[in-house]
A and B are shown apart, each in its own frame.
Chain A
Amino acid sequence: MKKYLLIGGSIATEGAIEGILSVDKNADITVLCGEKRPLYSRPLISYVLEKKTADENLYFRGKDYYEKKGVKAVFAEATAIDPTKKTVLADGKAYPYDKLLVATGSKSFVPPIKGLDGVAKKHTFYTMDDMLGLRADLEKGGKVLIVGAGLIGMKCAEGVKEYTDDIVVADMAPRPLPAATTPEAGAIVQERLKDIVTFRLNAALDRFEGNKAVFASGEEIDFDILVLALGVRPQVGLLKEIGAEINRGVIVNEKMQTSLADIYAAGDLVESYEAVGGGKRLLQLFPSAYLGGKTAGKNMAGEENAFLTDIPMNATKLFGVRITSAGLFVGEKTEVVSGEDYRAVYTEDGVIKGFILIGDSTRAGILTDFIRRKRPILNAEITKLLSDRDLSLYPEEERRAALGGNYEI
């Protein structure tokens, strides 16, 4: 019987389990969980910190997910892959495989900053342990400095707000969410949040002096608790050691195969095919991890499957401001501002490349599908796509087939 070994234990692993089991119902699957926890949902940590959902809901598929699926879970960190013997070493034990998935994800990036060692209460905000550690400190009170105004830093700020109003969010960038928004949309978000969070933007951190951050401008900010939210880096070490092709992330083909035989990779550590740009890209997104993992799993189990519809996308609500985006912000921009809502769509050569919506996101999935499938648009339809989009925007035959049950979009 074929042995499937999965290194990871997060969303790509879950996708792979579902993919393998869809082909091979009685598969022999072992997961090496480096984080030493059952499957949980990392993006939920900010909502738990915010007390918007309960701790136990982190285990979003149930704490007994692996048992339910008949998967052996080993709570040990993989330390080496032997591609010749086809084994993986974890806690001194060798685990054999016929097909291997590396889904080690990514890790918080902490750059060397002068004086960081002298900061007593410092945290990153990426894993469940990070959140629990931060929460324990927040419960004791104090001023909070968050360095990094990206999605992780801002979602963290939203959680921290439940414990204190004394929050400063600093970033080198001129606006919050620099990667997830356009300058126009970012400015709107900043404006809406300005009375909720104190921003220090265009602020390059120089050093820490005890519990004081000193910026390049000379400005000093005192804090009790520090959160470093400076992004994440793919964890490619295991595959690098054995010579897999790696750029910023591990290069995989559309079947999620690495350059090495019988070794697949999915999730935050991969550079995989991205449909809008048409090249390989490090996406590091929840749906990409799940669907990439699922594709890997199917191929590992012997069913040919290609993942060709992956695109950048993000949906979140930040202090009540809803932000929904997909694709790339390239090409010609069409903007509509209507009350509290901001909508922009980016088009090139008659197809939608990207969109960003602040506020109402009703039926945004139709816009996303236009991007994912490179559906041709007429200029006349852009207005409808930006306002009251619905299924009438799809070709009639396709819509009829989908609603009639003969086709799945």
Chain B
Amino acid sequence: MKKIYVKEEWCLGCHLCEYECAYANSGIGNIVLALKDKEIDPNVKVQTDGKITFAVSCRHCENPLCVSACISGALTKTAEGPVTVDKTKCVGCGSCVMVCPYGAVRLTKEGSANKCQLCMNNNFGEPLCVQKCPNGAIVYEEK
């Protein structure tokens, strides 16, 4: 399957991916209206080890621990490969957050699990963080 991969050495640490992600998943068709004066809660987070920055989002694992710990069936490893989240089924127990070794699943303010779904649940096509990364540090490839 096609996944998001990170080329650490190309990451500028600009955090643009976080804003584009928040926009892509806002359901609002205009980036200004979607983000202006709002605290963003994106599915991708730029982190740093002090020397280099890198954008972290769901790895869509072959054997996803989040899915094996999910008591509600909200998290699913689909036959096509992506790990999806159905917010209507989530009860907010936080088991997925307890087990994801990437820290890539989080609980939203509303209390349900959320994570990167490769922009398959919106109308942007290829993940918007990949499309908008100014330095090609996030790529979407088949490996």
A326 and B72 contact, Cβ closer than 8 Å, known pairs A362-B103, A390-B103: no
A344-377 with Cβ < 8 A to chain B? 361-366, 368-369
Give the 10 A-B CB pairs with smallest separation, nearest first: A363-B103, A60-B73, A392-B49, A365-B100, A369-B101, A403-B6, A315-B98, A315-B94, A43-B71, A390-B47
A61, CB-defined interface residue at 8 Å = yes
CB < 8 Å: which of A47, A52, A57, A361 contacts B97? A361
Q: Could you say which residues of chain A place their CB within 8 Å of the CB of B59?
A: 402-403, 408-409
A47 and B8 contact, Cβ closer than 8 Å, known pairs A41-B73, A362-B106: no
B39, CB-defined interface residue at 8 Å = no
A404 touches B101 (CB 8 A): no
A404 touches B5 (CB 8 A): yes
Q: Which residues of B contact A (CB under 8 A)?
A: 3, 5-8, 45, 47-50, 54, 56, 59, 61-63, 65, 68-69, 71-73, 89, 91-103, 105-107, 111, 141, 143
A322, CB-defined interface residue at 8 Å = yes
On chain A, the number of residues with a Cβ less than 8 Å from chain B's Cβ atoms is: 44
CB < 8 Å: which of A361, A369, A404 contacts B107? A361
A390 touches B91 (CB 8 A): no
B103 touches A368 (CB 8 A): no
Smallest Cβ-Cβ distance to A15: which chain B residue: B68
In the assembled complex, the Cα of A389 lies from the Cα of B45 at a distance in Å of: 12
A154 to chain B, nearest CB (A): 13
A315 touches B73 (CB 8 A): no
16 extra A-B contacts, CB within 8 A, seeds A399-B54, A405-B3: A53-B89, A60-B71, A313-B99, A316-B93, A324-B98, A364-B94, A364-B98, A365-B96, A365-B97, A392-B48, A399-B49, A403-B54, A403-B56, A403-B59, A405-B5, A408-B61
B100 touches A400 (CB 8 A): no
B98 touches A326 (CB 8 A): yes
Smallest Cβ-Cβ distance to A362: which chain B residue: B106
A365 and B102 contact, Cβ closer than 8 Å, known pairs A392-B49, A405-B143: yes
In the assembled complex, the Cα of A369 lies from the Cα of B99 at a distance in Å of: 7
B135 to chain A, nearest CB (A): 15
A57 and B62 contact, Cβ closer than 8 Å, known pairs A361-B107, A392-B47, A403-B8: no
A391, CB-defined interface residue at 8 Å = yes
A368 and B72 contact, Cβ closer than 8 Å, known pairs A316-B93, A390-B56, A408-B62: no
A290 and B89 contact, Cβ closer than 8 Å, known pairs A365-B97, A400-B8, A405-B143: no
Q: Could you say which residues of chain B place their CB within 8 Å of the CB of A314?
A: 98
In the assembled complex, the Cα of A136 lies from the Cα of B66 at a distance in Å of: 34
Smallest Cβ-Cβ distance to A394: which chain B residue: B101
User: Interface digits, A296-320 against B, CB 8 Å rule (1 contact, 0 not)?
Assistant: 0000000000000000011111000
Interface centre among B56, B111, B141, B143 (most CB of A within 10 A): B56
Q: Could you say which residues of chain A place their CB within 8 Å of the CB of B105?
A: 365
B93 touches A43 (CB 8 A): yes
B98 touches A368 (CB 8 A): yes
Q: Could you say which residues of chain A place their CB within 8 Å of the CB of B141?
A: 405
Q: Could you say which residues of chain A place their CB within 8 Å of the CB of B6?
A: 403-404
A389 touches B99 (CB 8 A): no
A57 touches B63 (CB 8 A): no
Q: Could you say which residues of chain A place their CB within 8 Å of the CB of B94?
A: 315-317, 322, 324, 361, 364
Smallest Cβ-Cβ distance to A406: which chain B residue: B143
Q: Could you say which residues of chain B place their CB within 8 Å of the CB of A390?
A: 45, 47, 56, 103
Q: Could you say which residues of chain B place their CB within 8 Å of the CB of A282?
A: none
A60 and B5 contact, Cβ closer than 8 Å, known pairs A326-B98, A368-B101, A402-B59: no
Interface centre among B68, B89, B107 (most CB of A within 10 A): B68
B50 touches A392 (CB 8 A): yes
CB < 8 Å: which of A53, A363, A399 contacts B72? A53
In the assembled complex, the Cα of A409 lies from the Cα of B56 at a distance in Å of: 13
In the assembled complex, the Cα of A41 lies from the Cα of B89 at a distance in Å of: 12
Q: Could you say which residues of chain B place their CB within 8 Å of the CB of A400?
A: 8
In the assembled complex, the Cα of A61 lies from the Cα of B61 at a distance in Å of: 19
